[in-house]
Amino acid sequence: MNISVNQFNSPCSCGREHRIEVKDIMISSRAAEALYESMKNGALSGYRRPMIICDENTKAAASGKLSRVWQLCAELVLSPVNLHADNHGVDRVHQAFEEMGAGAETSGGAPDLLLAVGSGTVHDLTRYIAHEKGIPFVSVPTAASVDGFVSTVAAMTWYGMKKTLPAVAPAYVYADTEIFSKAPWRLTASGVSDLLGKYVALADWRIVHEVTGEYICERICRMEEDAMEAVCQCMDGLKAGEADAYEKLMYALLLSGLAMQMIGNSRPASCAEHHVSHLWEMEVINNHVDALHGEKVSIGTVLNIGLYKKIAAAIRAGKCHVKPYEGLELELIRQTFGAKGLYDATMEENTPDPMLQVEPERFVEKLPRIAEIIEALPSEQEIVDLLRRGNCVYDVKQIGLTEEIIPLTMRLSPYVRNRLSFNRMRKMLEY
């Protein structure tokens, strides 16, 4: 299937004109062939020095089907050991560029087009480098594992701090079903999990919109809801290995990425549930967690839904009250982020404090509406059942953490990002 991206470029009832940067998206078992054709005779034929960025695993997964594309390109094959979307990963790409004589902008060997052949990490590194070098890149996902393939920003751990860095969206996406449907199940399950996290992200966006008047676009929310619906429908087909189900999952992931592209940030797709994932990635209150992005996100989703449901019940029972805001928990931030040398970076991220947008009177007034938004979400049990159906992770113990980490995780995770979530607004609630 092709996603015709132009349908998203029309003026919107939210008052903004959304812009899609990716020119074309193809999800098909013929995508590898179509990419070759484009490089040989089509839109990509003008590039003289294309270079593939991949790692050893994704090369093994994709170079067979892409053999003719591979022959047209230079390759940069990274070792997958400890390869992450972080400053070390970028250093490794820079170093490889230097070694290939491709580092200098004036060098005849400098690539003029990059092909990201891989999953999330390879894409984040490639989009960052493409932005830095001012050249376009093509996305060739080797697993349906994240929704960030078409994102315009790169989520990176930058000297210990989780950051969203400027990057570019791919010019084209060629998702070949015969490549990404053969990825290890754990990666596919991670993609399912990343999408189910939108339940929390959308609820957060809607609640914050109600209380602070933050901009929202219902059309973009619906795109995310369509993506979640698609993933719920394809779950059994995925487990049966049906190509069609894999294409639906890839479609849903790309749709979520396009929703982010339309607004220019990850607001529609990432909030309290991703903050949990980011906190654990920063290793402030835990040791290194060997889990995929989606696996941490799904646990964040379960934890936040459980918490939100409790608060909604308290609101309905008249037992939830708004109290004055006491400001950033400086001592706690010092003891936790500070112990990792991240006090200043955390304070910078939290300036201005997004909680200052919350007016207590309006918060009180909106409590019934907040309860309504939360009640529309599936219950904690329903989410767990959905995740189990997809063999996804849903419990901290499955990624080597213990339940003791949960309270502090929920208290600290809002501070990893300036983006306002209901979990953060909870700091003004008694229930």
Question: For Zn ion, which stretch binds (CB under 5 A), given 10-18, 107-115, 390-398, 410-418?
Answer: 10-18
**Of positions 194, 224, 247, 281, contacts Zn ion by CB under 5 A:** 194
# binding residues, Zn ion (CB under 5 A): 5
Binding mask 213-232 for Zn ion (x = CB under 5 A): ----x-x-------------
Question: For Zn ion, which stretch binds (CB under 5 A), given 85-93, 106-114, 116-124, 212-220?
Answer: 212-220
Site for Zn ion in 277-336 (CB under 5 A): none
Give the nearer residue to Zn ion in terms of CB position, either 62 or 292. 292
d(CA 74, CA 71) in angstroms, rounded, equals 8
Which own/partner contact pairs does 132-139 have at CB distance under 8 Å and 24+ positions apart?
A: 133/105, 135/111, 136/168, 136/170, 136/171, 137/113, 137/168, 137/170, 137/171, 138/35, 138/44, 138/113, 138/114, 138/170, 138/171, 138/172, 138/173, 138/174, 139/170, 139/172, 139/173, 139/174, 139/175
Token duo for residue 356: 């200052």
Residues 130 and 137: beta-carbon distance below 8 Å: yes
Question: For Zn ion, which stretch binds (CB under 5 A), given 6-14, 39-47, 71-79, 362-370?
Answer: 6-14
d(CA 232, CA 236) in angstroms, rounded, equals 9
Token duo for residue 316: 């309905």
Give the nearer residue to Zn ion in terms of CB position, either 12 or 77. 12
**Min dist. Cβ of residue 217 to Zn ion (A):** 3
**Min dist. Cβ of residue 223 to Zn ion (A):** 10
Does residue 20 interact with Zn ion by CB under 5 A?
no
Give the nearer residue to Zn ion in terms of CB position, either 194 or 281. 194
Signed CA dihedral, 347, 351, 354, 360: sign only = positive
Give the nearer residue to Zn ion in terms of CB position, either 296 or 309. 296
Other Cβ atoms closer than 10 A to 172: 23
Does residue 12 interact with Zn ion by CB under 5 A?
yes
**Min dist. Cβ of residue 185 to Zn ion (A):** 18
Q: What is the contact surface with Zn ion in residues (CB under 5 A)? A: 12, 14, 194, 217, 219
